[in-house]
Amino acid sequence: MTLKETIETNYKTSLKSKNKIEISTYRLILSSIKDLDILNRSGADKKETDDEDVKKLLKKMIKQRIESIEIYTKNDRKDLLEVEQNEFDLLSSFLPKQLNEEDTKKICIDTINKLGAESIKDMGKVMGELKKSYPDNLDFAKAGPLLKELLNK
């Protein structure tokens, strides 16, 4: 079953259980997937939307939720914070679990040693290897600054 089919199945289940938060979040996801389908079909490189496209879309939506959560936390908006947190949890459930900071650092160090990277000039090479080896598990927004710090020593 594709990721899109899984989301559609979960949407139908949430409709039956009348869970308003899940229903609205699934509608939002499915609407975005439909927009992506249209974009993929109408562009110069016509293709079907696959799981990788859906994962990228979900990551983008998660990033938006994280930004909103930070803003709502700063401004003490608990009502809006709760909605965003629920959406974040639901969106995150479709992606592999992100590695924590300690594991990310260990992987970065291992990759630097494996490639023999010595300076910041090698950052692109290391980042490329990380993206190839850990495309779904690593948060590259955290890995980038960490790599800079490790390679500047």
pLDDT in tens, 81-140: 999 999 999 998 988 887 788 888 888 888 888 888 788 888 888 888 888 888 877 877
Confidence of residue 73 (pLDDT cuts 50, 70, 90): very high
Q: What is the mean pLDDT of residues 33-41?
A: 90
* Residues 105 and 59 occupy one common structural domain: no
Q: Which of 74, 92, 110 is the last residue of a domain?
A: 92
Q: Are 58 and 91 in contact (CB under 8 A)?
A: yes
Specify the residue for token string 């509608």: 27
Q: Could you list the residue range(s) of the whole structural domain that residue 69 is in?
A: 3-92
Specify the residue for token string 């401004």: 75
Amino acid 87: pLDDT: 93
Is 145 a residue whose pLDDT tops 90? Answer: no
* Residues 22 and 63 occupy one common structural domain: yes
The tokens describing 87, both together, are 């959406």
* Residues 107 and 134 occupy one common structural domain: yes
Amino acid 144: pLDDT: 84
Three-state SS string over 51-86 comes to HHHHHHHHHHHHHHHHHHHHHHHHCCCHHHHHHHHH
Longest dimension (CA), the chain: 57
Distance CA 20, CA 152 (A): 49
Predicted model pTM = 0.73
* Residues 66 and 110 occupy one common structural domain: no
Q: Residue 88 belongs to a domain with what CATH number?
A: 1.10.1510.10
* Residues 56 and 119 occupy one common structural domain: no
Domain count, the chain: 2
What lies within 8 Å, CB to CB, of 150 at 6+ separation is 105, 108, 109, 112
Q: Residue 127 belongs to a domain with what CATH number?
A: 1.10.10.410
Specify the residue for token string 């190839």: 132
* Residues 105 and 87 occupy one common structural domain: no
Confidence of residue 152 (pLDDT cuts 50, 70, 90): confident
* Residues 86 and 116 occupy one common structural domain: no
* Residues 18 and 80 occupy one common structural domain: yes
* Residues 74 and 48 occupy one common structural domain: yes
* Residues 108 and 76 occupy one common structural domain: no
Amino acid 57: pLDDT: 92
3-state secondary structure of 3: helix
* Residues 55 and 116 occupy one common structural domain: no
Is 49 a residue whose pLDDT tops 90? Answer: no
* Residues 77 and 112 occupy one common structural domain: no
